[in-house]
Amino acid sequence: MSERIDRVAVVTGAARGLGQEFALALVAHGYAVAGLDVADQDETARRAGTDRFVPLTADVTDPDAVNAAIGKAAARFGGLHIVVNNAGVYPPIPFEDTTPEDWRRIMRLNLEGPFLVTRAALPHLRAAGWGRIVNIVSAVVFLGPPELVAYTASKAGLVGLTRALASEVGVDGITVNAIAPGLTRTATAAGSTGADGGFARVRALQAIPVTETPADLVSTLLYVCDEGSGFLTGQTINVDGGSARH
């Protein structure tokens, strides 16, 4: 049996890191949330402590799995209004060591995944006459750091998707924006940078010399999802402690 909720969100990559914190923040502010991930979301569900969070297993690069999960989310809560495309991969690889398989894997998860999720969700947002699409990109699109060429290209592509899609769906009462974090302390980032070397290097570039955490991004997410943010669209909001000043 479905349950009608005023605002329903889908958050990809909700098992851990940024996605987990985003899902929990939305639940805490009264949204119903469906988490999409290939990993176990038991910890997210436990922390949410409410049936307004529903974990759904889906590979965001699999069109059939995405369509099924989005359909389940909309049926469970009686609609869909917000999409947070957060799932992604962050592999530092020197450009000449990047294989075609590496390139395709990064592009599929970081760029094609948001395309598939958004495409599946868009009819539900249009039917509601209101929507927020939020793409999680990265401050690397402004900085172009070494060993992240494929990752930077994938996130730059997502910025382009954000801008173009905003033009297409604004007439439907739907906004599309991107949030660009700096290097944020998550288990994934820590495993990629090794010890504290990466975080220390980035802190030295920032105006605010403190390592970013997922909690530092929550207020921006809530802002772009808010009812009052209907005139904000096609934008990339940089939240990186001032390492990229543009």
Q: What are the backbone angles phi and psi of residue 121, rounded to the nearest 5°? A: -85, -25
> CB count, 10 Å around CB of 232?
16
Alpha-carbon dihedral sign for residues 134, 16, 44, 73: positive
8 A C-beta contact, residue 24 and residue 47: yes
Q: Which of 31, 90, 151, 223 is catalytic?
A: 151
Query: Is pTM, for the whole model, over 0.85?
Result: yes
DSSP label at residue 135: E
CA atoms within 13 A on the CB side of 139: 18
31 is catalytic: no
Q: What is the pLDDT along the chain (246 residues), one digit of tens a residue?
A: 344 458 999 999 999 999 999 999 999 999 999 999 999 999 999 999 999 999 999 999 999 999 999 999 999 999 999 999 999 998 899 999 999 999 999 999 999 999 999 999 999 999 999 999 999 999 999 999 888 999 999 999 999 999 999 999 999 999 999 999 988 877 666 655 554 557 777 777 777 888 888 899 999 999 999 999 999 999 999 998 888 777
SS3 182: coil
Res 3: pLDDT: 44
Q: How far apart are CA 69 and CA 89, in angstroms?
A: 21
pLDDT of residue 205: 79
Domain boundaries, the chain: 8-239
**pLDDT value at residue 62:** 98
196-211 burial string, b = 16+ CB within 10 Å, else e?
Answer: eebbeebbebbeeeeb
- Angle CA(84)–CA(89)–CA(93) in degrees, nearest 5? 150
- We find that the CATH architecture of domain 8-239 is 3-Layer(aba) Sandwich (3.40)
- pLDDT of 195 reads 45
CB 56 within 8 A of CB 62: no
